[in-house]
Amino acid sequence: MSQEGMYVQGASTIGIVCKDGVVLASEKRVSYGYMIMSKSGKKVFPITENIGAACAGLVADMQIMVREIAAYAKLYELDKGRPISVKSAAKMLASVLFQRRFSPYITQTIIGGIEEDGPIIYILDPLGSLIPDKYAAVGSGAEIALGVLEAEYKDGLSVEEAKELVIRTIKSAVARDATSGDGTDTLTITKDGIKEETLLFK
């Protein structure tokens, strides 16, 4: 690993589509190489009333990127007279990321929410690649997390079942990934809106 690569922060970040919504989550540790800088970082963010994002990578880049896409989403709503869709928000974020390809945001992102035809998530890399899926994991703990998700995910999960699976998945990743830990923030998105919750690990 290059010296520069040692200081790109890790994370274990998950997104799941369930029967009635989307659950996005990430653990709370912020690291710098092998140094734990914070145990209370936040890597999940509401964008609109029915769209959220969960990120892995540099926290500063996440924060600026989410503020930028939230501003664009608000401008879209003012211009069109209706809220932006999840697909449109994801495509807009993909364009923002691609425009910055020579000086990219160092972050992997899962964006999700409720469309007219149901819940959906999209996965984006730092250059704006856009992939829809039913579940996803990004960050340094992704390999471990995907093993749990592929074994346990099934269509038709309830919101509570999805939240339980997300917590189990993050705990599995945290157990093996030194740059992940200390708790989890979850963003549950349903037709009733967004609910944020924090669980601290003992």
Owner of token pair 């501003």? 71
How far from 72 is each of 68, 69, 105, 200, CA to CA, in Å? 6, 5, 17, 33
H or E element at residue 92: helix 86-99
How far from 201 is each of 11, 101, 180, 181, CA to CA, in Å? 15, 36, 11, 8
pLDDT at 117: 87
Interval 153-201: pLDDT, tens: 999 999 999 999 999 999 998 888 877 888 899 999 999 999 999 988 7
What is the percent of the chain with per-residue pLDDT over 90, rounded to a whole number?
Answer: 75
- Using DSSP, state whether 84 is helix, strand or coil: coil
Q: Is the pLDDT of residue 1 over 60?
A: no
Which distant-in-sequence residues (6+ apart) come within 8 Å of 103 by Cβ? none
Kindly report the three-state secondary structure assignment for every residue of 35-46: EEEECCCCCEEE
What is the percent of the chain with per-residue pLDDT over 70, rounded to a whole number?
Answer: 95
H or E element at residue 33: none
End-to-end CA distance of the chain: 31
Neighbours of 30 (CB within 10 A): 21
| Strands in 19-166 per DSSP E | 21-27, 30-32, 35-38, 44-46, 51-57, 107-115, 118-124, 130-133, 135-138
Q: Is the pLDDT of residue 7 over 50?
A: no
Interval 85-119: pLDDT, tens: 999 999 999 999 999 999 999 999 999 999 988 99
Interval 15-60: pLDDT, tens: 999 999 999 999 988 887 778 888 888 999 999 999 999 999 999 9
Distance of CA 24 to the CA centre of its chain: 6
Class of domain 5-189: alpha beta
pTM of this prediction?
0.91
Q: Is the Cβ–Cβ distance between 32 and 60 less than 8 Å?
A: no
